[in-house]
Amino acid sequence: MPIWNPEYESMDREALAKLQLRRLQSTVAWVYERVPYYKEVLDASGVKPKDIRSLADVRLLPFTDKTALRDTYPYGMFAVDLEQVVRVHSSSGTTGKPIVVGYTKGDLNTWTELTARIASAAGVTSKDRVQLAFLYGMFTGGWGMHYGIERVGATVFPAGSGNTERQLLMMQDFGTTVLVCTPSYALYIAEVAEKSGIDIKSLPLRVGLFGGEPSGEGMREEIEKRLGILATDNYGLSEVMGPGVSGECEYQCGLHMNEDHFLFEVVDPQTGEPVLEGEEGELIITPLTKEAFPVLRYRTHDLTTIDTTVCECGRTMARMRKVRARTDDMLIIRGVNVFPSQIEDVLVAIEGIEPHYLIIVDRKGSMDDLEVQIEVAEEIFSDVMADMVAFIKLVTERLFSVIGLHAKVRLVEPGTIERTAGKARRVIDKRQTD
Ligand SMILES: [Zn+2]
């Protein structure tokens, strides 16, 4: 599989470190001069741009959290005049004001280059016909992938998200070979196809580029099986650019990170100190070439590990493990730490369970109550009562062995749990609304 930009993607790691340092130094100088927020926090911590003499000196810099980006709404973090900004996107803030990000012409060019790398790594070529079923609009997902895939030379169908019947019609009539969307939407498309009697595996569809929400290996296998494709994972967030931060190659052994444009750190989420190489921690990202919206040490809250060993594909860029969990989606139930991804892993491994589930946490009196609703195959649902009871017992025991808690398992009919064309809602924590 060809590498989009071998000069950088396969560059010598020593040369890469030098390039990163040079770019880090100019980024720190850039924000110090142009963003009052950074001038203030750097002055307060007594750090000047000239103090950055090695890559390790990045630790002298303060972290940037979502709050800082919200407090400076809408344009307070921009490092250039609006006149130089040619595009603005915003994050889907579920509460309060969104985070607004801007791009210069140069930023858009970089972004397109990086999403072109991601698309190529997944195996997209000019021969492909790509159906982009991501949300367009203010969300970065649709537009970011769109231009990168065009740059590769593939034919893009900007379908947008939703209207699944139409997506399937396009897939059949337009001869789609690549699907871009969230993993949960890919499964939903498969489900609608199965219901409508469309044999998706007989279509030319061969590769999927999935991102926008955490998902595990079990989910990947399910997608590959039901759609008959190679499913690759890619990662990005609008605060540092959008999609294009990292993506998998055909070996699916972690997401190659575009280290020439971003500096990555993994830290202990509690102490902020670096973890040992290969250990899990929170991913911190400093974009190194952004003009309009540069941020220092952005706290992603995403948990991952980094692997710098050489990949079979020939890229030297380090790889991050698929993001399965976030520091802020951990549930504390009866004093036990539980990640929704742990529950998902148990469920997808059990035959007969559909990959649609809902975790409901509530408080009954002083006790936390955990309920897991799962969709099961028609056969199981219509089974005799005794078999259903045994099935619930099996799921309850498997969950207990992994999370150490008794969950109330409720089987629901296929199609009951809400489907979305974007990020799936997996958890309802009723304790927060009391
Ligand atoms: Zn690789």
Task: Say how many Å lie between the CA of residue 344 and the centre of ligand 1.
Answer: 27
Q: At which residue do the structure tokens 């250039």 appear?
A: 80
- pLDDT number for residue 93: 58
The number of C-alpha atoms within 13 Å of 261 and in the hemisphere containing its C-beta is 26
Determine the angle formed by the axes of helices 340-348 and 385-403, rounding to 10 degrees.
140
- pLDDT number for residue 95: 60
φ/ψ (deg, to 5) at 105? -60, -40
- pLDDT number for residue 434: 47
Q: Under CATH, domain 330-433 is a member of which superfamily?
A: ANL, C-terminal domain (3.30.300.30)
Task: Say how many Å lie between the CA of residue 232 and the centre of ligand 1.
Answer: 12
**DSSP-assigned letters across all residues of 11-53:** --HHHHHHHHHHHHHHHHHHHHHH-HHHHHHHHHTT--GGG--
Q: Where are the domains of the chain?
A: 1-327, 330-433
φ/ψ (deg, to 5) at 370? -115, 120
Task: Say how many Å lie between the CA of residue 3 and the centre of ligand 1.
Answer: 10
Task: Say how many Å lie between the CA of residue 12 and the centre of ligand 1.
Answer: 15
Q: In which element (H, E) is residue 351 found?
A: none
Q: What confidence tens digit (pLDDT) does each residue in 55-98 have? A: 999 999 999 999 899 899 999 999 999 999 999 999 865 567 88
The CA-CA-CA angle for residues 278, 426, 143, to 5°, reads: 75
Strand order through the sheet with 230-237: 155-157, 129-132, 178-181, 207-210, 230-237, 242-248, 255-257, 319-320, 306-307
Give me the CATH code for the 1-327 domain, please: 3.40.50.12780
- pLDDT number for residue 164: 94
Task: Say how many Å lie between the CA of residue 159 and the centre of ligand 1.
Answer: 29
Mean pLDDT per block of 10 residues along the chain (434 residues) reads 94 98 98 98 97 98 94 96 97 75 98 98 98 92 96 97 94 98 92 94 97 87 96 96 97 97 96 95 98 98 94 97 87 86 89 88 86 87 79 93 91 86 85 63
- pLDDT number for residue 176: 98
Task: Say how many Å lie between the CA of residue 294 and the centre of ligand 1.
Answer: 28
Task: Say how many Å lie between the CA of residue 172 and the centre of ligand 1.
Answer: 31
Task: Say how many Å lie between the CA of residue 181 and the centre of ligand 1.
Answer: 21
- pLDDT number for residue 433: 55
Question: CA–CA separation, 304 vs 287, rounded Å?
Answer: 18
Residue 135 has which token pair? 């949300």
Question: CA–CA separation, 234 vs 179, rounded Å?
Answer: 13
Task: Say how many Å lie between the CA of residue 247 and the centre of ligand 1.
Answer: 9
User: Can you say how many angstroms the Cα of residue 425 is from the centroid of all Cα atoms in its chain?
Assistant: 15
Task: Say how many Å lie between the CA of residue 200 and the centre of ligand 1.
Answer: 28
Contact 140, 114 (CB under 8 A): no
